[in-house]
């Protein structure tokens, strides 16, 4: 069973061919970074227009690199939510048209579940496990029970972690995309130069929740207040101190969840999981019990979409041509989706 996966939820135009949910035959990602860099953020109008220009070529290249023709595909999987609506619609409409013309099934995929699946492309992972999804739009800690079923322990009550990285990088003009720029600068900085505050969500229903707007405000508007004057106020030191605080918030909650639930296996996904301090810390805290996707499967890609799509298709679950794109997922607290 070969599935073509298409991902256009934000600024990566991506397609992949994956066999049996695991074997990645191709994984093509065309990034729009250069077009958004002048604005220090993704401009939705530019993103959807670039997807329209590129989608045909990206899908053709994915098929070529897999050594396949479109007729060799058994199904098409495509991200339909959450994301930028114009961008989502390009991939979704393209997938629907192809599936209709080839008379093969297509399935709309939730982007968050796809990020959670990414690690399964490279390892046999048994359910349940503690799942951590950290991206530009989401910060979720959950007990993952199956490819389509996660029980949410905590989520952000304001900004997402990646969003905080991007906003801090934009304010100090550290580079674009923000997360990767801060990661690079932080490697040359001292994380003790600033002692930024962490959210005080220790108890009750909120003990697994995240909050990043206070940290963002501290870094942007109250820098001097948290400055240890033994160290110079450099971009590198701001980046390192911010990164450590932002990631330690995550590490504390994962540790708490491992202790409380007794579940020792930790699997992570999403763009921020490319962060070297987060990867190193998870590895040193949880050793072999932590499973991280390689870098190319952390940020947006088509392989994770095709991979999870396989499981829907073999379970006879498919979408109809009426499926519409959705910018967000309706309010979730206990289960996802
Ligand atoms: O998963 P993703 O590609 O798109 C969304 O679904 O949001 O994640 C993008 C996010 C951005 O906020 C970006 O700044 C962040 O992932 N990111 C990083 C790193 N690489 C990407 N954050 C921290 N360190 C990185 N190395
Ligand atoms: Zn993503």
**Dist. CA 170–CA 174, nearest whole Å:** 7
Residues in CB range of 71: below 8 A, 6 or more apart: 102
Exposed, middle or buried: residue 71 (CB in 10 Å: 0-12, 13-18, 19+)? exposed
How does pLDDT run across 41-81, given as a tens digit for each residue? 999 999 999 999 999 999 999 999 999 999 999 999 999 99
DSSP state for residue 128 in the 8-state scheme: P
Q: Tell me what pLDDT residue 127 has.
A: 98
pLDDT of 202 higher than 80: no
- Structural class in CATH, domain 126-292: alpha beta
Q: Tell me what pLDDT residue 86 has.
A: 98
Neighbours of 173 (CB within 10 A): 10
Measure 118 CA to ligand 1 centroid, in angstroms: 14
pLDDT of 212 higher than 90: yes
**Dist. CA 159–CA 285, nearest whole Å:** 26
Measure 51 CA to ligand 1 centroid, in angstroms: 19
Measure 234 CA to ligand 2 centroid, in angstroms: 30
- The architecture of the domain spanning 2-116+299-335 is 2-Layer Sandwich (3.30)
In this structure, the dihedral spanned by the alpha carbons of residues 166, 170, 175 and 181, taken in order and rounded to 10 degrees, is -30
Q: Among the atoms of ligand 1, which is closest to the Cα of residue 177? A: 14
Measure 222 CA to ligand 2 centroid, in angstroms: 30
List, by residue range, all CATH 3.30.420.40 domains of the chain.
Answer: 2-116+299-335, 126-292
Tell me the pTM. Answer: 0.96
Tell me the two tokens of residue 53. 């220009």
Under 8 Å between Cβ of 268 and 299? no
Q: pLDDT class for 334, splitting at 50, 70, 90?
A: confident
The residues with which 210 forms a beta bridge, in sequence order, are 156
- Dihedral sign computed on CA atoms, order 115, 78, 60, 36: negative
Q: Among the atoms of ligand 1, which is closest to the Cα of residue 12? A: 3
Residues in CB range of 318: below 8 A, 6 or more apart: 75, 105, 106, 107, 312
Q: pLDDT class for 270, splitting at 50, 70, 90?
A: very high
Verify whether ligand 1 is closer than 6 Å to residue 110 (CB atom).
no
How does pLDDT run across 80-100, given as a tens digit for each residue? 999 999 999 999 999 999 999
How does pLDDT run across 178-191, given as a tens digit for each residue? 999 999 999 999 99
């Amino acid at each position: 069973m070969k599935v073509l996966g298409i991902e256009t939820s934000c600024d990566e135009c991506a397609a992949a061919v994956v066999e049996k949910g695991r074997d990645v035959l191709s994984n093509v990602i065309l990034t729009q970074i250069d077009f958004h860099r002048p604005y220090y953020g993704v401009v939705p109008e530019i993103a959807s227009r670039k997807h329209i220009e590129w989608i045909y070529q990206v899908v053709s290249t994915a098929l070529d690199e897999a050594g396949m023709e479109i007729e060799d595909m058994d199904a098409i999987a495509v991200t339909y939510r959450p994301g930028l609506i114009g961008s989502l619609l390009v991939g979704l409409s393209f997938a629907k048209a192809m599936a209709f013309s080839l008379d093969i099934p297509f399935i709309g995929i939730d982007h968050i579940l796809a990020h959670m699946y990414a690690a399964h492309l490279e390892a046999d992972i048994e359910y349940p496990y503690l799942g951590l999804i950290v991206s530009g739009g989401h910060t979720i800690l959950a007990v993952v029970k199956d490819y389509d079923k996660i029980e949410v322990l905590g989520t952000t009550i304001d900004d997402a972690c990646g969003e905080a990285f991007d906003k801090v990088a934009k304010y100090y003009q550290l580079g674009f995309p923000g997360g990767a720029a801060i990661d690079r600068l932080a490697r040359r900085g001292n994380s003790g130069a600033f002692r930024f505050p962490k959210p005080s969500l220790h108890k009750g229903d909120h003990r697994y929740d995240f909050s990043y707007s206070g940290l963002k405000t501290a870094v942007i508007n109250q820098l001097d207040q948290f400055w240890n004057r033994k160290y110079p106020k450099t971009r590198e030191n701001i980046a390192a101190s911010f990164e450590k605080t932002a990631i330690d918030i995550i590490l504390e909650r994962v540790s708490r969840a491992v202790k409380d639930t007794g579940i020792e296996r930790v699997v992570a996904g999403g763009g921020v999981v490319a962060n070297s301090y987060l990867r190193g810390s998870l590895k040193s805290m949880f050793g072999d019990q932590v499973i991280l996707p390689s870098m190319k499967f952390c940020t947006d890609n088509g392989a994770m979409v095709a991979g999870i799509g396989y499981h829907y298709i073999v379970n006879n679950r498919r979408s109809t041509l009426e499926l519409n794109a959705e910018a967000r997922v309706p309010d979730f607290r206990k289960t996802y989706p």
